[in-house]
Amino acid sequence: MTNLTVALLQLAPPGPDLPVNLALGEAACRRARALGADIALFPEMWSNGYSCAIPEGSADGDVYRHPSLWDGDRAPAGPWPEPVWLGEPITRDSPFVTRFRELAAELEMAIALTYLERWDGPPRNTLSLIDRHGRLVLTYAKVHTCAFDLPEAGLTPGAGFEVCALDTAVGEVMTGAMICYDREFPESARALMLAGAEIVLTPNACELEINRLSQFRSRAVENMTGMAMANYAGPGWGHSVAHDGVAFVDGRSRDTLVVEAGEAEGVYPAVFDLDALRDNRRRETWGDAFRRPAAYRSLLDREVREPFVRIGPDGRPVPGRSRPS
């Protein structure tokens, strides 16, 4: 049996203080390594705890933590205000990222680090995967930003899904990433599977209730990939979860669940049997075995038709697609 352990860092939501978050994150990574982790996975946007200020008069609250709606209201009437992110956006070569690169090399453990990334224009919601040698091997920005709501309507979305060959103590593992809302689109995990992903790392920052958890299980089964998700801790949050995607053994159905946390803060190891996962991918009927892409041309249609047209903060349909003429 060849095991790969992904530590789900289910941590309390931090504030926007970068040095504090660095120290908290380093301590969590050290706990993960002590538990035998090959990869430590942070929740979404760890560098600033998803903290954002909304200008006065735009809503009832003036500070965001996590992409939640204003007490059930979808958006204010009229033009949307510009969100002000608390905690400065950082670059891939910032001292924050550099310290985690040093830590990864020290611990000989990969770290999937999340942060608000400085960009040309609005910042990005980013994950950088650092391998056990301290090298940046994958940097991914959230593609499906929550363009229907502040503060994420003020972010630059990523352009696509990529996979890297992650060097681990048990050999190379094809690894990809998606972030939070990305997992609610089957195309995200499908694109990663088609790029060769065996394991998909998923930082998260929202309530994980039965519907989102069921979606995530489906992403694992339909793509025959290991799926690992780390969420913030706290009442109504938590439930960091992992599935191995092996739905049948010897013709009998089995539970794909590897681990599911409660709401408490902690480090939760998810142990994937890579031999079983790879055997499943060689012989089962999901994944890319019997797809018929020629029948899916409508998936590339850029028009959004009613009842799905939504208006964003700039008064135009979102997310960047055209209304029918």
Give yes or no for a cis peptide into 151 (omega within 30° of 0): yes
For 56-69, the pLDDT digits (tens) are 544 434 444 433 33
> Sorting pLDDT into bands at 50, 70 and 90, what band is 146?
confident
Is the pTM here over 0.85, yes or no?
yes
Tell me what the mean pLDDT of segment 164-181 comes to.
Answer: 98
> Sorting pLDDT into bands at 50, 70 and 90, what band is 306?
confident
Answer CATH for 3-55+63-291 from 3.30.565.10, 3.30.365.10, 3.40.718.10, 3.60.110.10:
3.60.110.10
Residue in the block written with tokens 């029948």: 295
* Domain residue ranges in the chain: 3-55+63-291
For 16-48, the pLDDT digits (tens) are 999 999 999 999 999 999 999 999 999 999 999
Predicted pLDDT at 84: 79
Tell me what the mean pLDDT of segment 183-208 comes to.
Answer: 97
Between CA 208 and CA 313 the distance in angstroms is 26
For 256-283, the pLDDT digits (tens) are 999 999 999 999 999 999 999 999 999 9
Predicted pLDDT at 62: 43
Name 103's Cβ contacts closer than 8 Å, sequence gap at least 6: 26, 29, 111
DSSP state of 26: H
Average pLDDT of the chain is 89
C-beta of residue 138 within 8 angstroms of C-beta of residue 126: no
Name 239's Cβ contacts closer than 8 Å, sequence gap at least 6: 208, 213, 231, 260, 261, 262, 263
What are the structure tokens assigned to 62, written together? Answer: 């003036």
